[in-house]
Amino acid sequence: MKLTVLHKVGIFTLSMLIATFSMANAKEAKSIDELVAMFDDKKCAECHEQIYSEWQASWHAKAINSSLKGMRNFIAVGLAKEWDTPLTKAEVLKCLDCHAPAVNYASEELAVEIGNLIVTAFEKKGSPAGSQAAEELAKLNVGCYSCHNIKATSIAPGLRGKPEKGVMYGPNGEDGDDFHESIESVDISTSAFCMQCHGVYHAPDGETIQCNTLSGSYRHGYLAAGGSKTCQECHLNKGHLFPGGHDLDTVKEGLGFNLEIAKYNHLPGQIEGVKNPKGWVPSAVITAFVENKAGHRIPDG
Ligand code: HEC
Ligand code: HEC
Ligand code: HEC
Ligand code: HEC
Ligand code: HEC
């Protein structure tokens, strides 16, 4: 009797293990093309043409290649030389969980391969091998799925669970013809949604990465002083272009400039040789006020 129960428990555990193993396998891509096919943003262009072209011109669309130097240093200098730590998926995700969230769905081997491509793209820049690596990496970025699916539930994972496959999380929950279902997401319109990437990263192994610190000043400077706008209210004014410090209009919007000029007569009657009959030098005190009107410190980084 006892033996049978144990036996059943054994079989049950074994089948659980098999189920977990095949689930893990099912959602892990083994090549970049397989990964891109799982989250193919090009398909969105068919129906959301304008949003797609705005996004293509945004910094979100080139989030690995624009940051190659820093990432290569992390992998080839930090991990390899200073900390003597092997390159693993967990290490690669310390950068790419924000710069290319789809990599969460890459196999261990593919994630390491992507890490090596980053080193090649930077170190062999200009050579055929370097250009080929950069071309591969350009397929990975902060894409449509990154925000509308992969990261859509992660500011409240306990409450919302994992994102549903193929479903778009958006502000209104309107389905996309026959192509996709949508789920209304309150989260995506909140600053906290942006702050998960524009803030400090807490890796599963406990390490924290402070790639950018802008969320801290948003919370403790701007909101604390009575600011009330969300990131979206200031940064979606040009749609999915998400303009920031690289956009002159946005930089101008962020800077208030005022001059206060007070005219006065310098040392009246006390300067010898001054031709002015009253003996003073016409002068002015000019005070310049440069105001930061952004919702956080500028510049960031
Ligand atoms: C919490 C999410 C997050 C993580 C983790 C992260 N980054 Fe970033 N990174 C960002 C964001 C957001 C920006 C854009 C910041 C800005 O413009 O204010 C950025 C910008 C950068 C830039 C500057 C890019 C430019 O255009 O000037 C470099 C370089 C960079 N990251 C490298 C890294 C490296 C290397 C790692 C891993 C060690 C890493 N990041 C990890 C979110 C992250
Ligand atoms: C960096 C995150 C981010 C990326 C990347 C992103 N979106 Fe969005 N998207 C948002 C946010 C935030 C909203 C607006 C929520 C709100 O209204 O407050 C939004 C709104 C939308 C909407 C509904 C409102 C509208 O403007 O029609 C559509 C459709 C949409 N996005 C499609 C896309 C497509 C297609 C892509 C890729 C080309 C994309 N998004 C990439 C964050 C993102
Ligand atoms: C066959 C056409 C079609 C394709 C392809 C398509 N969509 Fe949509 N999508 C729509 C329509 C129609 C709506 C509802 C009206 C609107 O918001 O534009 C919609 C709505 C949305 C919304 C807003 C949902 C909400 O909250 O109301 C998001 C976000 C979105 N789509 C993202 C995407 C992304 C990302 C892709 C690519 C993976 C994509 N769509 C591909 C047709 C499409
Ligand atoms: C999945 C992570 C992620 C999410 C979510 C995200 N971002 Fe970003 N964002 C990045 C990264 C990474 C960069 C840097 C890309 C680069 O330098 O190429 C960036 C760049 C930007 C920039 C351009 C900065 C510049 O230098 O011009 C702005 C503005 C921005 N994000 C605003 C937002 C806002 C607003 C939201 C929320 C609606 C948001 N982001 C959500 C990762 C993210
Ligand atoms: C009150 C409007 C406002 C709010 C709220 C706001 N921003 Fe900005 N943000 C700006 C302006 C204006 C700039 C351009 C200033 C500059 O770089 O000189 C900017 C710049 C940026 C940049 C580029 C920084 C750089 O150094 O180039 C990023 C990234 C960014 N914002 C993200 C965010 C995120 C994420 C939030 C929410 C946590 C947010 N912003 C809230 C107005 C705002």
Determine whether the shortest distance from the Cβ of 222 to ligand 2 is under 6 A.
no
For residue 222, what are the contacts with CB-CB under 8 A and spacing of at least 6? 295, 296
Residue with tokens 């080139």: 62
Report d(CA 284, CA 227) in Å as an integer. 35
Taking the CA atoms of residue 60, residue 123, residue 29 and residue 41 in that order, the dihedral angle to the nearest 10 degrees is 30
Report pTM.
0.90
Q: Nearest CA to 240 among 166, 148, 165?
A: 148
* Cβ < 6 A, ligand 4 pocket: 59-60, 62-63, 66-67, 98-99, 101, 142, 146-147, 151, 193-194, 196-198, 231-232, 235, 242, 244-246
The pLDDT profile of the chain, 301 residues, written as one tens digit per residue, is 333 433 444 444 444 444 344 344 457 999 999 999 999 999 999 999 999 999 999 999 999 999 999 999 999 999 999 999 999 999 999 999 999 999 999 999 999 999 999 999 999 999 999 999 999 999 999 999 999 999 999 999 899 999 999 999 999 999 999 999 999 999 999 999 999 999 999 999 999 998 887 899 999 999 999 999 999 999 998 999 999 988 889 888 888 888 999 988 877 766 666 666 566 778 899 999 888 889 998 887 5
C-beta of 209 in contact with ligand 1 (< 6 A): yes
pLDDT at 276: 60
Going by C-alpha positions, the residue among 218, 182, 209 that lies closest to residue 96 is 209
